[in-house]
Structure 1
């Protein structure tokens, strides 16, 4: 009786050209294969050009369907032949030996691919851990810069920007108010009418909240831990352990893209029209701080008094443009 092997004992062989299985000792072109003559799988082929299946049907004719993928088979007489992938599944009479061998070989292929992928990741370990640590350091430094910028503007502005970032509402809107005086029953009255006016939109608000950084920090730490875990797996790792580590290491490109995208958002945020910040809170002191930032962005310098005058003039221009009497900020 032929001794069957488990997938862990199979040495995976892929024939990537017809010349490779033509060179096998005992290979014969068009060598017919029956259920009775089947002995074992030698390997699998995956070729650009299709090959004829040599399965012999019950009427004695060979299958001769063409397949670009299939199996190189050893027969009981020691010769070799080809069995097409689909024919192996559909036309071999559900032979239990072949079904088991194919399943074991497929498992071995997957195991081999996992191992190759794991080795590929480990070969990049030094370079990638350095890149990941630099990304983390750059993001931490960026978060500090943004936090310092917000602190200098004041707690009200910081809180408003955080709320906007978390709610994903980027529009800066003020209430434009008109007053109309009229006389009714001999008494002077004032009618108030108001409408919402959109001043503009602030881009890349995600940089102001730590919530935007945390997922990337977690992913970076997971990747660094996965590289350490991969190095400890040894020569015969358990499949579930290897799968878990490889799945984490496969996340490298996504994490780098996510992190670099966040780094790039800093320039987007700082290129916002900073005058919009002046209309986020009603606190005059904080509004003047924002005005100084907006002035510098426009190439103007000045202290608190100059910022106060600049903002008052800008508000007056806006009231005139809208034909209103007052701006209200909430």
Structure 2
């Protein structure tokens, strides 16, 4: 049975071990396992003159001879001075190292699974909370419509949460002469909190992370029995190690979406050029805030708001501002990306 030796006493307890035994390449029969000591022991590789190597090593290998005898060889000597059977020894050392890696990783996974039995419940709660806010985000998207959602995604990808319009001061003429050119000035109506929460990846990325970790916990017992390759075992352990970050990422996403949902979206309508779509968005936003009104009331609210802006900023009219388009990587005619169904 392959094992790792951490004390000289463990080696001395092996059947067939004798301090006078030599490692003879021609008699080599296999690797018992590596040794790692805090002190040095002398290499027992037989040199050409029949005497032991005698080089001191803290790390090396316990080898087995055809007659059942066991002896220690230093790590450097095993790699550099084993003669014609060095390839065979290197292969066996690799196999033993891989087997020990699997066992160490398996033990670490068993400990993590045992310690994390309560984590699976926490992970499932995090997944349910994420699903709930995703449903609320879908409902908001359906209420506001694809045109408004495109605006929100554009703002998010431009990393600019400000809702803006353009104030216009008309050109002034005296007869045929222009005495004052047309002037424009940006007007900020307000900013949306956590606007990036509207992007699909806000929900998608933590959902994927949670699914990977939850799946790993659910198949942990079977995996411990079936996985034998070191890379596969370490990859499995790495997924389990992401438990904390998966839960944390999910909670951050939930908090961001909830903050985003608390915004007053009525002013987003002013970022929409089409008047009909503008009224629909304003009506939906007011409805979500509990002030359901008919379309005539909404039209008056839009007109009154525009008048208030003109007066407050000293402009003749208020125009649509499409600065949010800078954040779009696709045609502005393309429907907004859905956050899921």
What TM-score, normalized to structure 1?
Answer: 0.66
The equivalent position to 1:105 in structure 2, one of 76, 96, 117, is: 96
How large is the RMSD of aligned CA atoms in angstroms?
4.7
- Is 1:265 matched with 2:256? yes
User: Per the alignment, do residues 62 and 249 of structure 1 end up closer, same or farther by CA in structure 2, a change over 3 Å counting?
Assistant: closer
Q: Match for residue 195 of structure 2? A: 205
Deviation, 1:233, is 5.8
In structure 1, how many angstroms separate the alpha carbons of the residues matched to 2:305 and 2:109?
A: 60
Offset of residue 136 of structure 1: 1.4
Instruction: Decide which of 74, 77, 82 is 1:92's aligned counterpart.
Output: 82
- Confirm whether residue 183 of structure 1 aligns to residue 177 of structure 2: no
Helix, strand or coil for the counterpart of 1:15?
A: coil
Which is worse superposed, 253-262 or 216-225? 216-225
Distance across 2 between alignment mates of 1:319 and 1:22: 91
Contact 2:268 2:281 in 1 (8 A): no
**Structure 2 CA distance for aligned equivalents of residues 77 and 222 of structure 1:** 50
> How far apart, CA to CA, are the structure 2 residues paired with 1:286 and 1:113?
59
Q: Which residue of 2 aligns with 1:251?
A: 239
Are the counterparts in 1 of residues 169 and 184 from structure 2 also a CA contact under 8 Å?
yes
Is residue 319–residue 327 contact of structure 1 (8 Å, CA) maintained in 2? Answer: no
Secondary structure of 2:73's partner?
A: strand
Instruction: Give the secondary structure class of the aligned counterpart of 1:170.
Output: coil
Offset of residue 88 of structure 1: 1.8
Give me the TM-score of the superposition, normalised by structure 2.
Answer: 0.64
Residue in structure 1 matched with residue 40 of structure 2 by the alignment:
51
Summarize the alignment of residues 269-288 of structure 1 with structure 2, pairs less than 5 Å apart.
269=260, 277=268, 279-281=270-272, 283=278, 286-287=281-282
Q: Secondary structure at the match of 1:250?
A: helix
| Correspondence 1:21 to 2:21 | no
Match of 2:326 in 1: none
Asked whether the 8 Å contact 1:180–1:190 carries over to 2, the reply is: yes
CA deviation vs aligned residue, 1:252-310 (integer Å, no higher than 9, x gap): 4153343233223235536779797465335257458768999xxxxxxxx98997799
For residue 61 of structure 2, the aligned residue among 71, 84, 100 is: 71
Does the alignment pair 1:134 with 2:125?
A: yes
Aligned length: 304
Question: For 1:28-72, what per-residue CA distance to the aligned partner results, in whole angstroms no more than 9, with x for missing partners?
Answer: 66965342464432222345x2534504544646252534x4322
- Give the deviation of 1:137 after TM superposition: 0.6
Partner SS for 2:252? helix
Does the residue aligned with 1:251 lie in a helix, a strand or coil?
helix
Alpha-carbon distance in 2 for matches of 1:280, 1:46: 69
Shift of 1:102: 1.3
Paired residues for 1:303-314 under 5 Å:
311=305
Q: Find the aligned partners of 1:86 and 1:264 in 2 and give their Cα distance.
A: 56
